Amino acid sequence: MTSPTPLKTITRLLAALTNPTRLRLVRLLLREELCVCELVDALRIPQYKVSRHLSRLRGVGLVEARRNGRWMYYSIGRRAKLNGFHQDLLKVIDIHLGGKPEVSKDDARLARRLALRQAGRCVVGKTCC
């Protein structure tokens, strides 16, 4: 089996970003590494849906996950792994989604949720919104 061609990789990435929820997730993850429950509170959608969208983004190599105890933290893939196209696309997403009412609400809810962290870690069972 051969590795995907650059065009195939770009097509898969763009297809993964056609969903508004995934765009919102990417934009939040551009800020910092986040726990899935923080993303649930910020977007106000069920955990299973957030996880499904994150799985799709992981499948195209845009998002990475790491376990820390009971918590799963997600982040945009390491900058070294992302080529120029990925980095340019992430900048465009961030710039053009910024200031949109729905995205501004995501930011406000996330800020409230992050204020609940203890020692820089997510606190399960607490909800901000």
Q: Where are the domains of the chain?
A: 6-113
* Residue 93 pLDDT > 90: yes
Residue type, 25: L
What topology does CATH give the domain 6-113?
A: Arc Repressor Mutant, subunit A (1.10.10)
pLDDT band at 122 (very low <50, low <70, confident <90, very high): confident
* Residue 34 pLDDT > 80: yes
Tell me what pLDDT residue 78 has: 67
